[in-house]
Amino acid sequence: MNDSSSNDQTKQPLLTIAIAIRDPNPRRLDRCVAAFAALRRAEAVELVLVTCGERINLDSNAVGSLGRVRIVADAPRGVYQAYNLGCTVASGRYIGFYGFDDFPLPGLDRIIDEAEHDDGQTVLFAGPCLSGSRMMRPMLPVCTIAYRNWCHQGLIYRRSALSQPPFSTQYRVLADHHANIRLLGDHPRSVRVFSEPIAFFSQGGLSSTQQDEHFRAEQRRMAHESFGWRGLAVVNLGFAVHSVRRIVVRAAAGMAPRFS
């Protein structure tokens, strides 16, 4: 692992954003970094850019007034290993996870303000994310996360509340969903949900294009262990609704239904 830093200051950042990077387009990466630098609370933000060994050179204008930028080069071991490494080297009391084609929105400034004065009881700040014309909101009650995950870029975690490492790499696509189920099962009343969008996320990520059969096979067990019968009921209902939708879609397309 190689680590280099810029804008290194003596003041510890409040929030670390770990960004997983592989074969980045330099202009898009600079645009992502510049979006964080444009935040009103940019000085409270540390960016940890975890690359797959690539050498990257950031435009100094993009870095702006960010509190700190660190570039960590590692072997290509997958996005969740990159996030785990980013969490290991993070300096902030809080941490979030982005891809290099995701962007923060001004709502993140409000979360930084609230986190700075939090009494230490909040383990997760959550807000909506935008993608195209869609807005992805955290669903309540909290136990509904047992079936439907909250948008990853809309979550800011108290770093000390996360397991270390936070993401289990046995789940290739949905390790963040697994981590969120465990965290909210342990701290269901320690979450603050905001209405203002805090991130714009790029469509076409792993969870929207690939399946995680290992996670799905264990989802009922996770839900029951974390939320009891309520969590199990949420997952069973979610699977049932999904099956009905598939049948309706196939029928509308003139295809014979398949049952699984």
> pTM value?
0.89
pLDDT per residue of the chain (260 residues) written in tens, 0 to 9: 555 565 555 578 999 999 999 888 888 899 999 999 999 999 999 999 999 888 888 888 888 899 999 999 998 889 999 999 999 999 999 999 999 999 999 999 999 999 999 999 999 999 999 988 889 999 999 999 999 999 999 999 999 999 999 999 999 999 999 999 999 999 999 999 999 999 998 866 555 567 899 999 999 999 999 999 999 999 999 999 988 887 777 677 766 555 55
Q: Is residue 64 part of a domain?
A: yes
Residue 221 lies in a domain: no
- Quote the number of domains for the chain: 1
CB 144, CB 238: distance < 8 Å: no
* CA torsion through residues 190, 192, 198, 200, sign: positive
Residue 251: the pLDDT is 72
Does residue 243 lie within any of the structural domains? Answer: no
SS3 40: coil
Residue 232 in any domain: the answer is no
| Residue 215, in any domain of the structure | no
CATH number, residue 165? 3.90.550.10
Domain membership flag for residue 149? yes
Q: Is 146 within 8 Å of 224 (Cβ atoms)?
A: no
Say which DSSP state 52 is in.
S
Domain limits for position 112: 2-210
DSSP sequence for 180-194:
HHHHHHH-TTSEEE-
